[in-house]
Structure 1
């Protein structure tokens, strides 16, 4: 779909990391979604990173990293633990299906 003379509208996949070709797109998306929930909770409660540390026992440095979207060093289970300590129940849903852009490893050439 064209918009004007020099712009084209392209619909994304719903995962910006996949749209930019990242091999670890699904993991990055899951971490970003959990970090977003943590930030929302801190904002709703109007907690500083120090207050969050005091309430959860998780270091304020970790909360600072999450606020700055520096989640590379966190595992999914660490982010789930943080959410749990913030009084949240975490429920994950996993759907597995072949990637449309990936060749099948046993496909003949």
Structure 2
């Protein structure tokens, strides 16, 4: 990350992970979960589901759907969010390969 000045306005270039930029713990996990929640919200809109319909389809209570759509996903595991997406008609593939560096990282790729 670095600072830049454009037209007299100073700003800092982000890392690509707003959670890490804010110094939050488990930033990578939060980035993955927020990406999954974003896709859930897109699927609900694309399918034109009410929150109640989405809840039935995903196997969770309607208030939980409401919370998800407001960004409250702290009590959802990545696995549960992926389960919700599969119930909304998404295929999920997990690819595991050796990392180029000593420590690997998680990436959410959306087609």
TM-based fold match above 0.5: yes
Structure 1 gaps, min length 5 = 100-109
How far, CA to CA, are the matches of 2:60 and 2:85 in structure 1?
A: 11
Name 2:107's counterpart in structure 1.
Answer: none
Name 1:54's counterpart in structure 2.
Answer: 56
Task: Decide whether aligned partners of structure 1 residues 13 and 20 sit closer, same or farther in structure 2, where only a CA change above 3 A counts.
Answer: same
- Residue 94 of structure 1 deviates from its aligned partner by 6.6
- Residue 56 of structure 1 deviates from its aligned partner by 3.5
Structure showing greater Rg = 1
Pick one of 6, 20, 23 that aligns with 1:21.
23
Q: Provide, for residues 12-71 of structure 1, a one-character-per-residue CA deviation record: whole Å limited to 9, x for no partner.
A: 111000011112100111110000000000011111110112333322122111101000
How far, CA to CA, are the matches of 2:74 and 2:95 in structure 1?
A: 21
4+ runs of 1 displaced by more than 2 Å? 53-58, 91-99
How far, CA to CA, are the matches of 2:95 and 2:33 in structure 1?
A: 14
Q: TM-score with structure 2 length normalisation?
A: 0.76
Structure 2 gaps, min length 5 = 104-111
- Of structures 1 and 2, the one with the larger relative CO (CA 8 A, separation 6+) is 2
Q: Secondary structure of the equivalent of 2:84?
A: helix
Mapping of residues 69-80 of structure 1, within 5 Å: 69-80=71-82
Q: How many residues align?
A: 98
How far, CA to CA, are the matches of 1:98 and 1:11 in structure 2?
A: 26
